[in-house]
Amino acid sequence: MRSCFLGTGGSWPTRERNVLSIALTHSRNTVLLDCGEGTQRQMIGSPVSPLKIDAIVVTHLHGDHFLGIPGLVQSMSLNGRKRPLMIAGPSSIHASVESSLSSTVFRPGFEVDVREMKDGDRLVVGSLTVRCASVEHGIEALAYRVDAPPRPGFFDRAKAESMGIPQGRLWGDLQRGKTIRSNQGGVDLEVRPEQIVGPARPGLSVVYSGDTLPHGSVAALSRDADALIHEATFSDRHADLARDYLHSTAREAAEIASEAGVGSLFLVHISPRYSAPDLIDEMRKEACEVFPGAIIPSDGECFEIGRRTNKPCKPEDGGAGAVRTCR
């Protein structure tokens, strides 16, 4: 599963960071997590195509998470999109989407399917399943878990060869769950998939918190996820502001990740006050004291999310890890 961080900042755009938007892609399906202003421009030069986005899920209706939708939808339409687009979010999402699209005096040339969600709801986006949980941010707000389908079990190549099954179509049939029948050297073979292929493995999973005070619902939703993307608006030096504005610090996000047993942690929604590199390093160190290998991505960075691990994620942090950068 690929995670592309189109915008990683909070509240308003800066020279270093645009406001939040993250694209998750698995196989042929792409879900956009939040869509702050300027998201469509952030896609230029990235692997993310506006025409290939299947759904936009919105955590809450503060502008830095939502205001990019009208422009993105208009650009999709002007570039010939015809297939439907799903937009999901908290209970007022339908009225907000309708109002924002109508205010541009522009109607898209495709269906916009708006889904209102509440705690515990789920929806299906192609091969992906999206679940949500309520969080605490002063207005109705959600966290999301995106689960890919189970992966095939491991194929026992040595056993297949020892049974005389020739490599090629028959191996592929077994991996697709089909019983094969063949005659090899005058010997009739009938082999069931479970004789060669191990049990299905869990699919990859990513959780995204949006904006919230540290909340048990995020830890519960994130249990054993491969990656957690959690807001970290403030460092320890401004923990009082985090409380006042119902946000999390980098350390608190790391505590949620550690409690949930996730494989990797990405910190986003960085306050504009932390533009200097030394302040970003300070936040990262605070998180790594609790969750080694925590990452604060930059705008435009993409990562391949792999199998769950609690080891540090980047080579320079000393781990082989579940995450590698890609461009």
What positions carry a catalytic annotation? Answer: 64
C-beta separation of 144 from 231 below 8 A: no
CA angle (135, 141, 142) in 5-degree steps: 70
What's the number of CA atoms in the CB half-sphere (13 Å) around residue 228?
33
Residue 14 three-state SS: coil
Distance, CA of 86 to CA of 55 (rounded, Å): 4
Distance, CA of 295 to CA of 267 (rounded, Å): 6
Nearest to 130 by CA among 205, 50, 62, 223: 205
Q: Name residue 73's amino acid.
A: V
Buried b (16+ CB within 10 A) or exposed e, 151-184: eebeeeeeebeeeebeeeebbebbeeeeebeeee
**Helices 277-288 and 250-260: crossing angle, nearest 10°?**
30
